[in-house]
Structure 1
Amino acid sequence: MKPTIALVGRPNVGKSTLFNRLTKTRDALVADQPGLTRDRHYGHGRVGEKPYFVVDTGGFEPVVDEGIMFEMARQTLQAVDEADAIVFIVDGRVGITPQDKIIAQRLRQNDRPVWVAVNKVEGMQRAVVTADFYELGLGDPVAISASHGEGVRDLINEILDGFEVPVDEPEADHPKFAVVGRPNVGKSTLVNAVLGEERVIAFDQPGTTRDSVYIDFERNGSPYTIIDTAGVRKRGKVTEMIEKFSVIKTMQAIEDANVAVLVLDAMQEVSDQDARVASFVMETGRALVVAVNKWEAANAEQRDRIKREIDRKLSFLDFAKFHYISALGGQGVGELFKSIDQAYTAAMIKIPTPKLTNALQLMIERQQPPLAGKVRPKMRYAHQGGSNPPVVIVHGNALDHVPDSYWRYLERSFMKVFKLQGTPLRVQFKRSANPYDDKTKKPGPKPKPRSKF
């Protein structure tokens, strides 16, 4: 299982900047204004072969007892509880503050390992700037610059040294699918309909499922594993400590599955949170099937509305099958299973290299990659680099000049040629080595001229 690293500290010490550095994204808002981050923000990171979750938190003001800063402090404490390691970020230019001492005291009461990261030290003597922070009593402070990247890799390597590299388990020989979505859309009811019995609690109260539940079963003689997950609320509405913990459990369940079944409520609008869950499924590369539940209870106007909202807000899920079902009555569940099987088969497909290369050449004949100045990327052959999702690796020259539009063209074309329904496909480029690129490489001996005789 991936370790979870929580970033905590006072407002405006650089937590979001470090989050963006670790995740190689710009997902967290960054500005010279205290308190900009209010909710917890989850992301993925990787150093070498070691992946991890990272959690950005709002500024921690431990002395307040009401208002938004109090709620931010509660969320930070919850992030500490669910983390495997904590990075306590302090400002090297400001020095140690009374708030830093109070936060350190709170962190010492927790059994999680803590690293003190002294940020904003660019251009400063590290030994001098970190000396004062030994007073926090949390071990040796580490000097970093989140904005410039100085010391960040060494810090994360040190943290991850205490965790084993997640072992890739053998691929299951049967589909494992996670039922995900907002609370109270009927996920547990759908699980019970699939199983044909009351295996999980289901009643009209949002947030009933607190943890992910794995259930093995058979259907028509074929084995499956279904994962009932806790509902993923909008972050601003996640208040109970035990419910906040369920968010990361849901993320882990999606990664552990082969297929995600996203459940929507036909009686409600498609929310931004629905789109976020779908985006997370795509980021992890999992196959996807969408089930619009409570279809029997929706009137004609509601049905038209949700179909329009799906076209508008979930248009990026064009690879997924949509089903309009009634989990309570069992209508449409059988067809849903057909799509789960189809998505699983597509996600785990093995495609021979000759077939991939032939398909690639046909795509190039149909539409060549555009020129980049005087250079046109040349694609030679392709082979499969992985499954769940399928990964196609294309070899050639000048592939760093391939535009995103052509990248997407290749992905869509591969999916169409091999009839991959329900799973995303990823294309990666691998540029052939050019011995003349290395200017420092000494030239080898000149070849001897061939004899005329």
Structure 2
Amino acid sequence: MSLTLAIVGRPNVGKSTLFNRLVGKRLALVDDQPGVTRDLREGEGRLGDLRFTVIDTAGLEDATDDSLQGRMRRLTERAVDMADVCLFMIDARVGLTPTDEMFAEILRKRSKHVILAANKAEGAAADAGVLEAYNLGLGEPIRLSGEHGEGMTDLYAALMPLADAMEEKQPEDVPQTDIDLDEDGETEGEAPVITADKPLQVAVVGRPNAGKSTLINKILGEDRLLTGPEAGITRDAISLKLDWGGTPMRIFDTAGMRKKAKVQEKLEKLSVSDGLRAVKFAEVVVVLLDAAIPFEQQDLRIADLAEREGRAVVIAVNKWDVEDNKQEKLRELKTSFERLLPQLRGAPLVTVSAKTGRGLERLRDAILRAHDVWNRRVPTAALNRWLTAMLEQHPPPAPQGRRIKLRYMTQAKTRPPGFVVMCSHPDKMPESYSRYLVNGLREDFDMPGTPIRLTLRGQGDKNPYKGRRKKNAGALAKHLKGKA
């Protein structure tokens, strides 16, 4: 992509709606409430044969202090500086406002190329606002409707000459937000190779104010995501592509997940839903805890969710720099982890400090190790030798006097590891014996922490001679009676 387009404007003028239309996906959250977007979201935009990077920005606010609005404005100004073209949007139905005029002056000084767009311009009610836009001195405004797709041809005509002029410019390796996860990872074969085209997908999840955005900023080495002392700053699930220690990764920053009963507002429901979607698309899920209050009920729910989705899980304890008695605290954490999350027994537990950056190398190693275990495949011969030993050590139960026979075992898939056991009466197998087999797999084949799926499948009664004796006896009797 040779062109970077930043969509800027006041809150609630329709920037995210247009962003979704340009990328062809509903990536950005959209709501009638102003100020929904807070972080920079990037995606691959398409208009006809034109391909470009499009950046959705937070609404420009008249604030320059260290408040949340001031930090959002600085992040948007950064997007303006890095973009080749700025699409300055106004609301044609509201008309020109003093804030629009102030930001038009800022863009005129900071941006290389500015395209003026009057959004929500469908119908005659927007005519007056479109005419007022000429007063900004940014040229002829483009009449757009991001919601209904009107004016895309005019936008293409405005962008095409700029794209042609920048054709010789080399594209930069920018963060990406398109979620294009290849879901064929559950088929047989070797573990996929992590490449720049197919990076390792990592989602960072946790309760509000656990430090997820701060941690990702420290990994990136720049303040790319909006952070602050306020809880619940992140709303969208923002993904960032980077090379972390030689490993291409795409890291998803998600909104903090509170208890379901406390999530009442529609916008927070959308944010949590976006975070859950990121978990489903991830390969490794990092559950970030606050060292001061680890393993709260909500932390356990989030970790259990990742396990039920079949993702590799890494537990990271943040804010470790403020702990005084680290050794005693670490022992308590490990004890609580084993007691409260037995389904993730053996999963990596890493202490980090998003503020100072300590522990990030250990976190990276834990992510790669969890991903390797998640992709592990065990040969069928080794599995059946192991199954024989497990049966001799602890035979299966015999409900109603008939012992359940386990005949054959194979690994059906990876990501996460899934095993199939052919047996008699699978419906009568107690859950405790299935856990015995799963725990044995985890320990004997070095698969700590990763979700393991065990399926019991019945073979039916395949005895080819069943009923033949009675049938042959009847035929013989009939033959002898005929002779008599």
- After TM superposition, the score normalised by the length of structure 2 is 0.53
Displacement after TM superposition at 1:241 (Å): 2.6
**Superposition pairs of residues 312-323 of structure 1, within 5 angstroms:** 312-323=339-350
Displacement after TM superposition at 1:220 (Å): 2.8
Displacement after TM superposition at 1:257 (Å): 1.0
Q: 1:431 to 1:307 in 2, by over 3 A?
A: closer
Return the alpha-carbon distance in structure 2 between the equivalents of residues 443 and 248 of structure 1: 63
Matched, 1:413 2:427: no
What's the Cα RMSD here? 3.1
Counterpart in 1 of 2:352?
325
Return the alpha-carbon distance in structure 1 between the equivalents of residues 249 and 463 of structure 2: 53
User: Which residue, out of 454, 473, 480, partners 1:427?
Assistant: 454
**Superposition pairs of residues 93-242 of structure 1, within 5 angstroms:** 169-171=183-185, 173-174=193-194, 175-242=200-267
SS in 1 for 2:401: coil
Return the alpha-carbon distance in structure 2 between the equivalents of residues 398 and 277 of structure 1: 35
Q: 1:307 to 1:392 in 2, by over 3 A?
A: closer
Counterpart in 2 of 1:358?
385
**Superposition pairs of residues 269-280 of structure 1, within 5 angstroms:** 269-280=294-305
SS in 2 for 1:178: strand
Counterpart in 1 of 2:143?
none
Displacement after TM superposition at 1:307 (Å): 5.6
User: Which residue, out of 239, 244, 249, partners 2:269?
Assistant: 244
**Identity within the alignment, %:** 35
> Larger RCO: Structure 1 or Structure 2 (Cα < 8 Å, ≥ 6 residues apart)?
2
Return the alpha-carbon distance in structure 1 between the equivalents of residues 469 and 374 of structure 2: 46
Displacement after TM superposition at 1:196 (Å): 2.2
Counterpart in 2 of 1:382?
409
Return the alpha-carbon distance in structure 1 between the equivalents of residues 181 and 344 of structure 2: 30
Q: 1:374 to 1:327 in 2, by over 3 A?
A: same
1:319-373 superposed Cα distances (whole Å, 9 cap, x missing partner): 3111111111111111111111111111112222212222211211221112212
Alpha carbons 1:342, 1:422 under 8 Å: kept: no
1:32-89 superposed Cα distances (whole Å, 9 cap, x missing partner): xxxxxxxxxxxxxxxxxxxxxxxxxxxxxxxxxxxxxxxxxxxxxxxxxxxxxxxxxx
Gaps of 5+ in 2: 1-179, 186-191, 195-199, 477-484
Q: Which moved more, 1:204-213 or 1:216-225?
A: 216-225
Counterpart in 2 of 1:303?
329
SS in 2 for 1:423: coil
User: Which residue, out of 301, 304, 309, partners 1:284?
Assistant: 309
Q: 1:202 to 1:384 in 2, by over 3 A?
A: same
User: Which residue, out of 274, 277, 293, partners 2:318?
Assistant: 293
SS in 2 for 1:373: helix
Displacement after TM superposition at 1:436 (Å): 7.8
SS in 1 for 2:251: strand
Return the alpha-carbon distance in structure 2 between the equivalents of residues 193 and 187 of structure 1: 10
Alpha carbons 2:294, 2:317 under 8 Å: kept: no
Displacement after TM superposition at 1:312 (Å): 4.5
Alpha carbons 1:385, 1:391 under 8 Å: kept: yes
Return the alpha-carbon distance in structure 2 between the equivalents of residues 312 and 412 of structure 1: 15
What stretches of structure 1 move > 6 A for 4+ residues in a row? 441-445
1:174-230 superposed Cα distances (whole Å, 9 cap, x missing partner): 331110100100111111222222222222111111111122221232212211111
Return the alpha-carbon distance in structure 1 between the equivalents of residues 304 and 219 of structure 2: 25
Q: 1:381 to 1:308 in 2, by over 3 A?
A: closer
Letter in 1 for 2:400: G
1:156-179 superposed Cα distances (whole Å, 9 cap, x missing partner): xxxxxxxxxx99733364331110
